[in-house]
Amino acid sequence: MLAKQDKAMAEELRAMLRMTITPTVIHGGVKENIIPSECETVFDCRILPGQNTKETMEYIKNLLGDVGLEKLDFEIIQANDPSESPANTPLYELIVNVLKEFEPNCSAVPFLLTGGTDSRFFRRMGSVCYGFEPMRSDLPYGEILKMAHGIDERISIENLVFGTSILYKVVEKFMT
């Protein structure tokens, strides 16, 4: 039902609910009429909290088992197990309260970010980190997703002022 109404939202939710394994780079033959002697594929794996790199590798090997694992070589290029911060902290409570000062009918809702951030490095050192980007919905979600990291990535001036004001107030109150 959601997929028919908002395809971009449905795709984003699907990636939040299960591990994704996407072939992003494939190198093989050099000519269309010659069977290559080898092929190399790079997979981008987005794993969920509670899963880890070892389990993911075992899952991939199980998927490719019919090919014959003795024919395959595996190399982990980069691995970062998922990280998360609890939602029952003084900082989270402060974020919710400041947000309500600006938008009384709003709330902050924890969710899974399907991309990567530097927060994992801080969490490994024991810090609590939240990806908090307060904005008003002035564009459909699908349009916002299409612009992310693209040549036309932007937010409105109103959202820049709104978000900056909230973030400033959170930092000001947290530091006092």
pLDDT tens-place string over residues 49-62: 889 999 999 999 99
pLDDT digits (tens, 9 = 90+) for 151-170: 888 888 999 999 999 999 99
Choose the final residue of a domain: 42, 71, 100. Answer: 71
Identify whether residues 56 and 96 lie together within a single domain: no
Q: For residue 145, give Cα distances in angstroms to 81, 106, 107, 117, 122.
A: 24, 21, 21, 16, 26
Mean pLDDT of the chain: 88
Instruction: Mark whether 42 and 105 lie in a shared domain.
Output: no
Q: Are residues 65 and 98 in the same domain?
A: no
Q: 31 phi and psi, to 5 degrees? A: -145, 145
Sequence-ordered strand ranges (E) for the chain: 20-27, 40-46
Domain that holds residue 35: 2-71
Whether pLDDT at 140 is above 80: no
* Residue predicted with more confidence, 115 or 175: 175
In a domain, residue 78? The reply is no
DSSP symbol at 63: H
**Are residues 166 and 95 both part of a single domain?**
yes
User: Would 81 be classed as within a structural domain?
Assistant: no
Residue at which a domain ends, from 71, 99, 129: 71
Residue 77 within a domain: no
Residues in contact with 33: Cβ distance below 8 Å, sequence separation at least 6, in sequence order? none
103 & 134 share domain: yes
When comparing pLDDT for 113 and 95, which is higher?
A: 95
Percent residues over pLDDT 70 in the chain: 97
What pTM did the predictor assign?
0.74
62, with CB counted inside 10 A (0-12, 13-18, 19+), is: exposed
Query: What number is the average pLDDT over the span 72-98?
Result: 92
Domain check: are 108 and 168 in the same one?
A: yes
Whether residues 100 and 154 share a domain: the answer is yes
Average pLDDT (96-113) is: 89
**If you average pLDDT over residues 102-113, what whole number do you get?**
86
How much is the average pLDDT of 165-176? 96
| Average pLDDT score over residue span 140-153 | 78
Mean pLDDT score, 18-42: 92
Residues 35 and 95 in one domain: no
Q: Which residues contact 159 (CB under 8 A, 6 or more apart)?
A: 135, 136, 138
* Nearest alpha carbon to residue 94 among 168, 11, 8: 168
CATH code at position 147:
1.10.150.900
Pair (17, 46) in one structural domain: yes
Residue pair 7/142 in contact by the 8 Å Cβ criterion: yes
Domain edge (last residue) among 22, 44, 71: 71
Q: Is residue 85 part of a domain?
A: no
Q: Is residue 38 part of a domain?
A: yes
Co-location of 99 and 27 in the same domain: no
Do 94 and 128 touch, CB atoms closer than 8 A? no
Q: Provide the pLDDT for residue 1.
A: 59
Average pLDDT of the residues in 38-54: 91
